[in-house]
Amino acid sequence: MPENIAKIAVAAAKYWVDRPYDYLIPEELKEKALPGSRVYVPFARGNRRSEGIILALSDHSEHDKLKAITAVLDEKPVLTPAQIKLALFMRERFFCTVFDAVKAMLPAGLWFNSEGRRRVGDKTLEMARLLISPEDASAIAASKRGRSPQQANILELLCSFESLPGRELLQYTGASRPSLKALQKTGLVELYFREAFRRPEIHLGELEPLPLLNAEQQQVYEGINALACSEKSGAALLFGVTGSGKTSVYIHLIMEQLRRGKTALLLVPEIALTPQMIQTFSSHFGDEVAVLHSSLSLGERYDEWKRIKAGKARLTIGTRSAVFAPSEDLGIIIIDEEQEETYKSENTPRYNAVDIAKFRCAGAGAFLLLGSATPDIVSMYKAQSGKYAYFELKNRYNDMTLPDVEIVDMKRELRRGNGGNISSRLKEELEENLARGEQSILFINRRGANKLISCGECGYTYKCPRCSVSLTYHSNNRRLMCHYCGYSRWLDQACPECGGMLNHIGAGTQLVEEELKELFPGVEVMRMDTDSVTPVGSHEELFQRFRQERIPIMVGTQMVTKGLNFENVTLVGVISADQSLYAGNYKAGERSFSLMTQVVGRSGRGAKPGRAVIQTYTPDNETIKQAARQDYLDFYKSELELRRLQNLPPFTELFALSVSGQVEEHVVAACRHIKAWLDERAGKEGRALILGPSPLPVVKVNNRYRYRVTVSAPEGAGIRGLLSQIIMECGSDKRFSDVSVYGDNDPLD
């Protein structure tokens, strides 16, 4: 029987009613209605138009009366069968609808607006070429020289080129458009349109030879490459100290895959790292490189996606969402700095790029390589237990030693009368660097000037009216801002409650920048945070300035901690090592160790030795000592034992069912129902530990209260199905109509 029924994932379907819906395919649409194509369908009782995507075709349905597809939106399918399988996997693993998964996979420019028009059109370029031989064209040009010199110029220029863009042809010859049109009418020149790609600026020059590998790198490369070329899917962890040359190993591995006719993906955690990676890899792979990240324009991102899908770019470099690049014949996926939380999406679908990469590699028979100087605890555990292959680079590439690190007790600084953010020891080291013409990087993981403003008389503090957080003071525009919802207001001259004097408490990048300018008058200080790099591409410009102009001091947030290679940086200062160490999250120690280790590793990457100063109020904290020694393996052992005692990952899976709404009592009631429901089906049997309800660290954001129930269970306990079931139940229960319930695997906060 003919397949005249389409199984469709509908955009308007909520999670609790999400399933493939059966629709009839009209006769006139059968050639275009293929799996992976987007369609318009009538949905629900009101038959409102909704977008959908065809998942499969069938010749029968369990239902007697079916609605019909009203339009097919794509000339060719936008998803391959493998991508459809990925969308279905994401629904089961990340508690999202299939269509939510599809929207994450496709570039925004490919979607349609409310009028049914695509948000970004295809760019074309008008081209001109000869319809006669160059010899004949040259003869005709000579005959036209007297009466039609512009036409003669056009013909002569085209004699030297197979084709030229029409605009450039007129610009170079000084001819007018009517002259070009006249040649077209006489049949001497053809005008046609060619697809053009809007591309981010990539500096391409002569291709450079592959970087030389030292003996240690060569051994690691050969081991990983043997696994990557085995035609079997697999995974490996590459643990290498900062500056050990992991990137050079990546380049060789990718080159080998391209030689075999395969494609490759390279993920980096921050947009700020992308330009440096692009410059490095394009110098070896040229136009084979495509770039995907959120700072591209809609047109650039869409066109890069098209280049990848068409096979014109075989190496894709990008941030988290680049894991969905439509690369065929995948050979390898490399995730650099794999421990970074930026690989985890905080919006629906709440996916982890590492999980997506594993699924893609398993389906394509490709190899997954995770690289880091401070691997995720779970990744290292899998490597140590044999689930991943394990490789290690123990030494820096240039045989330089790791930086000498000094821990400074800020309590002593206070006793000595120094209440600032720059210790006397760090000031001395900065003075030495300035005298030698060397550069320094200072790290503090908070933007703005002060964490909060408080009245010394009555204790009043400025709070966000929409969120349960204090407003952060930004000194450059004298405004108080909420970093969650964007609310802002001017700072008063005195306390608005009692008229008392306002105290500035806590420090951020702006305050540190101001202190440095007071300590070192006339010395240029560069600040790197989300306030200073908002314009597209400005982070790249700032890094270029820092390198080329040798700006003495850079102060920044975590965007300065990883992946950067400045040979003249010989000093790193960690301003407040305690800031993230005591956050209310089981990963606080791991994140703090990683940030400190990574930023210390920015020092001494060239010929000059490096130093680092870590400032803390708790100098005896073991995590800070381990970071100072750059001793990841010791940290891993102690952290793993702590997690074993607390029954946390990697020994269990951790889930969160979060509820948000405008009425706090309703949110808490929904959480209590969820906990009781899960206790009845899993908690009492001992299959899982059910905790909560508990407020999120920031309980109110943008006038919505947020609570959660946390579930800890061994892998394979079958908990995901129960979680999905209760989310669906709450979504269809009228008692909870004014709250939203969503699930998350291994939440960030």
pLDDT digits (tens, 9 = 90+) for 53-111: 999 999 888 888 899 999 999 989 999 999 999 999 999 999 999 999 999 999 988 88
User: pLDDT tens digits, residue range 683-725?
Assistant: 877 889 999 899 999 999 999 999 999 999 998 778 999 999 9
Q: For residue 168, name the pLDDT band (cuts at 50, 70, 90).
A: confident
The tokens for 469 are 């957080």
The tokens for 620 are 């005896």
pLDDT of residue 213: 95
- 3-state DSSP call for residue 219? helix
**318: β partners:** 267, 292
The tokens for 508 are 């951020």
The tokens for 421 are 């953010």
Helix axes 246-259, 215-228, angle to 10 degrees: 40
pLDDT of residue 705: 97
Sign of CA dihedral 546, 548, 551, 552: positive
* Res. 607: pLDDT tops 90: no
Q: For residue 343, name the pLDDT band (cuts at 50, 70, 90).
A: very high
Q: What is the mean pLDDT of residues 537-559?
A: 86
pLDDT of residue 202: 67
- 3-state DSSP call for residue 258? helix
Distinct helix (H) and strand (E) counts, the chain: 21, 30
pLDDT of residue 204: 63
pTM above 0.85, yes or no: yes
Q: For residue 536, name the pLDDT band (cuts at 50, 70, 90).
A: low
Q: Which residues does 43 contact at the CB level (< 8 Å), separation at least 6?
A: 10, 12, 13, 21, 49, 50, 52
End-to-end Cα, the chain, rounded Å: 53
pLDDT of residue 617: 93
User: pLDDT tens digits, residue range 258-275?
Assistant: 999 999 999 999 887 777
* Res. 331: pLDDT tops 60: yes
Domains (ranges, CATH) in the chain?
5-81 (3.40.1440.60), 124-195 (1.10.10), 215-393 (3.40.50.300), 404-449+507-643 (3.40.50.300), 653-745 (3.30.70.600)
CA distance 451 to 443: 16
The tokens for 701 are 């954001």
pLDDT of residue 505: 84
The tokens for 299 are 């047109």
* Res. 583: pLDDT tops 90: no
pLDDT of residue 203: 60
The tokens for 244 are 């050990």
* Res. 401: pLDDT tops 90: no
Number of other CB atoms surrounding residue 109 within 10 Å: 21
pLDDT of residue 161: 79
pLDDT of residue 205: 65
pLDDT of residue 534: 62
Instruction: Give the 3-state DSSP-derived string for 66-95, with helices as H, strands as E and coil as C.
Output: CCECCEECCCCCCCCHHHHHHHHHHHHHHC
CA distance 37 to 518: 61
Q: Which of 295-304, 361-370, 501-510 has the highest mean pLDDT?
A: 361-370
Q: Which residues does 125 contact at the CB level (< 8 Å), separation at least 6?
A: 165, 193, 194, 195, 196
Q: What is the mean pLDDT of residues 449-477?
A: 89
Of 342, 383, 381, 372, which is closest to residue 594 (Cα–Cα)?
A: 372
Contact 371, 338 (CB under 8 A): yes
**25: β partners:** none
Of 239, 240, 268, 241, which is closest to residue 601 (Cα–Cα)?
A: 241
Q: For residue 242, name the pLDDT band (cuts at 50, 70, 90).
A: confident
Q: What is the mean pLDDT of residues 288-313?
A: 88
Mean pLDDT, the chain, rounded, equals 91
Q: Which residues does 283 contact at the CB level (< 8 Å), separation at least 6?
A: 205, 207, 208
Of 295, 285, 192, which is closest to residue 540 (Cα–Cα)?
A: 295
pLDDT of residue 520: 96
* Res. 134: pLDDT tops 90: no
How many residues appear in the chain?
749
Share of the chain above pLDDT 90, in %: 66
Q: Is 326 exposed, middle or buried (0-12, 13-18, 19+ CB in 10 A)?
A: buried
pLDDT of residue 582: 81
Give the pairing of strands 48-58 and 5-10. antiparallel
- 3-state DSSP call for residue 461? strand
Q: Which residues does 369 contact at the CB level (< 8 Å), separation at least 6?
A: 224, 228, 235, 236, 238, 250, 253, 332, 333, 334, 335
Contact 99, 166 (CB under 8 A): no
Share of the chain above pLDDT 70, in %: 98
pLDDT of residue 665: 96
Q: What is the mean pLDDT of residues 586-607?
A: 91
